[in-house]
Amino acid sequence: MSAERSRHGKKVPVARIARAHGMKGEVRILPYLVQNVELLRQLPCFYRRKGRDCFEKLVPESIRSAPRGGFLVKFGEIDTRDEAEALHGQELFADLKDFPPPEEDEYYVFELVGLKVELPDGEVVGEVVGLMPVGPYELLEVRRPDGKTVYLPMVDEVIREIDLEQGKIVISPTEGLLEVQND
C-alpha cells in the first residue's frame, strides 16, 4: 500500500461536547477516535465551528478521563457553567497538522472515510463509510452505489493502493469477495 499525505491545516472532527460538568466551565466530550482515544490528550488545541469556514480555537487547560467513557475537559476560554452549557452538542475539530504522523501504512479513520473504492480498471465499487476492527486486522466498510454494504479486509492482498491526494483506494478483491456479501 502506498499513500500521499497532505496535512495543510485541514480541520477534522474529533469529538462532540456531550454536556457541561460542574460549575467551573468543564465539559464532557465523547471522542470519535474509537481506536486511539488517548490521541486527544496529545492535541494542543481544539476548534469549534463558528461559520462555514470559520473556527474558534479552544485551548484545553486540563483533560481527564470521565466516568463511563469520554473525557472531562476544561478549556481556558470557558469559565462558567453557563458558558459550558452553551457548548452542548457542538462538534470539536482538530487541525490535522497537530496529529502525530501515522506510521507507514497506517491511517486515521477520518482520512479513509469518503474515499472512493475502485478496481484496478477504474470501476467504482463504492465509498468508504467506516472501519471496523476485527481480530488481527480491520475491515473497510464500503457502501456500494446500490446502497448495499460490503466489508473488505485491510490486507495487502486486497488493498493495493491508498491515494489520499486522489481520494481513492484501489482494491483487488479475492474471487467472490464482493459477490458473497451481496446475497
pLDDT at position 7 over 60: no
- pLDDT tens, position by position, 78-111: 999 999 999 999 999 999 889 888 777 777 777 8
d(CA 155, CA 64): 35
Contact assessment for residue 138 and residue 154, using Cβ atoms and an 8 Å cutoff: yes
Contact assessment for residue 168 and residue 8, using Cβ atoms and an 8 Å cutoff: no
- pLDDT tens, position by position, 135-163: 778 889 999 999 999 999 988 899 999 99
Q: Buried b / exposed e across 25-47, counting CB within 10 Å, b at 16+?
A: bbbbbebbbeeebebbeebeebb
Structural domains of the chain, with CATH: 11-98 (2.40.30.60), 109-180 (2.30.30.240)
